[in-house]
Structure 1
Amino acid sequence: MVKRHHPTPPLLGSRNSRLNVIRRGVLRSYRSDLYHFLVTLSWPGFLALITLSYVAANTLFALAYLAGGDCIENAQPGSFRDTFVFSVQTMATIGYGSMYPRTNYAHGLVALEALVGLLGFAMGTGIMFARFSLPTARVLFSRVAVIAPYDGVPTLMFRTANQRDNFILEAQVRVTLVRNEVTKEGHFMRRFYDLQLVRRETPIFALSWTVMHQIDETSPLYNATPESLAEAETELVITLTGTDESVSQTLHTRHAFLSSEILWNMRFVDILSRMPDGRRLVDYTHFHDVMPV
């Protein structure tokens, strides 16, 4: 007897391309992979973490100066505000001169804090540069994919477009069909199929690109219906890679279509036209629009 399974959520849980997977039994420690964590953290989270770390470090050193008694010249004894301001000046190597260490204890803390500040700013600057220098793709995908006759053959199609005013060189696209299957032995599995495309790569990706897969006898979509795709919880996973002409770096992006986002007997509205002066016009306001065949 085949076991019943709960509906499988999409592999890409949202349009930010994060895996919709819960990992169990794998040790996950941010300390062992801190660089990757800091590089992949969102910008608001990264800035909040940097601010929190900066305030926490200065607070710890301010408390350490307070523990040394009256060890800072021109600072009010027991004033956390003055020791915190002195810590900020020391860590940032500002040194206004109104407050300075007066004991060996304070001199030792100043030396330690200067070292911590130097290393912290160096690492923070490096991570900030790494985040800014990461190549990102601004590639637009149509909200839906369609299946309609093309040259007499049922064809799966979706649109993609380069949103920047430059070229993506040697762009390559790969489409993978993912669906639930049960083997003859009754084992449930999530199986992947690579779809053969009419054109898998283009030397220059500048405007729009309609990716097409012909559904013939060799296609895993052959004899498929909207109901069968929904029952198998079918998903299309798309990856696109290329070289950004402006920075000469490899970039990549991902997208996914659920079975409910695959429309049958529909085609995309034409978005290419020509201006009176002969230039081509791409109307992205209708990029996602479809119409019946």
Structure 2
Amino acid sequence: MGKNRKSPELRFIKRQGRSYLICLGTRPSWGSLYHFLLTISWWRFLALISAVYLAINAFFALLYLASGNGIASAHPGDFGDAFFFSVQSMASIGYGAMHPTTLYADILVVIEALVGFFIMAVATGLVFARFSLPTAKVMFSNFAVIAPYDGIPTLMFRAANQRGNFILEAQIKVSLVRNEITKEGDFMRRFYDLKLVRSQSPAFSLSWTVMHQINESSPLYNETAESLQEKVGELIVTLTGIDETISQTIHSRYSYISDEILWNMRFVDILSFTPDGKRVMNMTHFHDVMPLE
């Protein structure tokens, strides 16, 4: 007989308020634990670490209870005393009120001190890694629009750097994803890279209007709102660059489904000037669109 194969795992994930069903193949191994601990939310991370800490102390408390009267000044059979003695031993507090009195309890203290040392090292490393993890704070417009620009139909959407610093050597890539049927009748989900009017910025600080001209060489040529929706079209946007503050590479991503691509619409202007000639960015209208006149 052949080797037993693990059944594929199906999982729902949420991105930008939408749910996706993905197949992960075989179930994730323990090698994915580090990635899991870095990507879960802070409250889940703290809850998990606290639960592990309490569970380990409860386990050692049961082992101390098995020794009978191995802890001085502790009530025999009292789980609370054994638990608090375990906490003191793991944290190397040593108040002095309770201490081991038997060889069995001494061995448990040694083992628990070693376990506590590794737990503290792992927890400290995870907290530091989560704090130092480089993240981008880039906002994308809620919609992408298609409107004439210099007489050519152009796909446009906005991006803004919300940190107030510079993202150096910023690069944006946009791909069109749609369902297609090959000549052989096979279904495929195909990706097409879109050529942008400007795909990089040496110093991205405020707002960036990303544009793709829809000409004969564009994958969007001859597409309509109805045809794109029928093909389950979607735009995948990725932005990468170097955060000048921490000098590390950061990245951000976004996507626009066909319902979020508005035809014959344009963005409301957000740039204006003060009487003394200074530029003003009105971000309250960042997501606003209006019909073409």
User: What interval of TM-score do these two structures reach, taking the shorter chain for normalisation?
Assistant: over 0.9
Instruction: Determine whether 1:40 maps to 2:39.
Output: yes
| Structure 2 residue aligned with 1:167 | 166
Higher relative contact order (CA 8 A, sep 6+): 1
Distance in structure 2 (CA, Å) of the matches to 1:193 and 1:121: 48
- TM-fit CA distance, 1:13: 4.7
| Structure 1 residue aligned with 2:191 | 192
Q: Tell me whether 276-285 or 135-144 shows the greater mean CA deviation.
A: 276-285
Query: Using a 3 Å threshold, how does the CA distance of structure 1 residues 41 and 24 change in structure 2: closer, same or farther?
Result: closer
Q: Residues 81-105 of structure 1, C-alpha deviation per residue, up to 9 Å, x if partnerless?
A: 0010000111111111111111111
Given that 1:197 and 1:213 are in contact with CA atoms closer than 8 Å, whether structure 2 keeps it comes out as yes
| Structure 2 residue aligned with 1:234 | 233
Given that 2:160 and 2:206 are in contact with CA atoms closer than 8 Å, whether structure 1 keeps it comes out as yes
| Structure 2 residue aligned with 1:53 | 52
| Structure 2 residue aligned with 1:206 | 205
Distance in structure 2 (CA, Å) of the matches to 1:71 and 1:264: 78
- TM-fit CA distance, 1:34: 1.8
Q: Residues 136-194 of structure 1, C-alpha deviation per residue, up to 9 Å, x if partnerless?
A: 11000000000000000000000000001100000000000000000111111000000
Q: Residues 236-262 of structure 1, C-alpha deviation per residue, up to 9 Å, x if partnerless?
A: 000000000000000001100000000
| Structure 2 residue aligned with 1:292 | 291
| Structure 1 residue aligned with 2:81 | 82
| Structure 2 residue aligned with 1:28 | 28
Q: Residues 62-81 of structure 1, C-alpha deviation per residue, up to 9 Å, x if partnerless?
A: 00000001111111111100
| Structure 2 residue aligned with 1:5 | none
Instruction: Determine whether 1:111 maps to 2:110.
Output: yes
Q: Tell me whether 215-224 or 270-279 shows the greater mean CA deviation.
A: 270-279
State the identity %: 63
Given that 2:266 and 2:291 are in contact with CA atoms closer than 8 Å, whether structure 1 keeps it comes out as yes
Letter in 2 for 1:263: L
Q: Residues 210-233 of structure 1, C-alpha deviation per residue, up to 9 Å, x if partnerless?
A: 000000000010011110011001
Distance in structure 2 (CA, Å) of the matches to 1:178 and 1:273: 36
TM-score (norm 2): 0.93
Distance in structure 1 (CA, Å) of the matches to 2:18 and 2:125: 26
Instruction: Determine whether 1:93 maps to 2:92.
Output: yes
Distance in structure 2 (CA, Å) of the matches to 1:141 and 1:25: 32
| Structure 2 residue aligned with 1:63 | 62
Gaps of 5+ in 2: 1-11
Distance in structure 2 (CA, Å) of the matches to 1:80 and 1:266: 69
- TM-fit CA distance, 1:28: 1.9
- Corresponding residue SS for 2:242: strand
Distance in structure 1 (CA, Å) of the matches to 2:234 and 2:289: 20
Q: How many residues get paired?
A: 281
- Corresponding residue SS for 1:72: coil
Distance in structure 2 (CA, Å) of the matches to 1:247 and 1:277: 34
Pairwise CA RMSD: 1.6
Given that 1:177 and 1:237 are in contact with CA atoms closer than 8 Å, whether structure 2 keeps it comes out as yes
Distance in structure 2 (CA, Å) of the matches to 1:255 and 1:291: 22
Letter in 2 for 1:94: I
| Structure 2 residue aligned with 1:8 | none
Letter in 2 for 1:114: A
Given that 2:175 and 2:235 are in contact with CA atoms closer than 8 Å, whether structure 1 keeps it comes out as yes
Distance in structure 1 (CA, Å) of the matches to 2:13 and 2:33: 24
Letter in 1 for 2:250: L
| Structure 1 residue aligned with 2:15 | 14
Distance in structure 1 (CA, Å) of the matches to 2:113 and 2:238: 47
Given that 1:17 and 1:254 are in contact with CA atoms closer than 8 Å, whether structure 2 keeps it comes out as no
Distance in structure 1 (CA, Å) of the matches to 2:63 and 2:255: 53
TM-score (norm 1): 0.93
Letter in 2 for 1:281: V
| Structure 2 residue aligned with 1:132 | 131
- Corresponding residue SS for 1:180: strand
Q: Tell me whether 64-73 or 41-50 shows the greater mean CA deviation.
A: 41-50
Letter in 2 for 1:59: A
Distance in structure 1 (CA, Å) of the matches to 2:190 and 2:111: 57
- TM-fit CA distance, 1:117: 0.4
Letter in 2 for 1:229: L
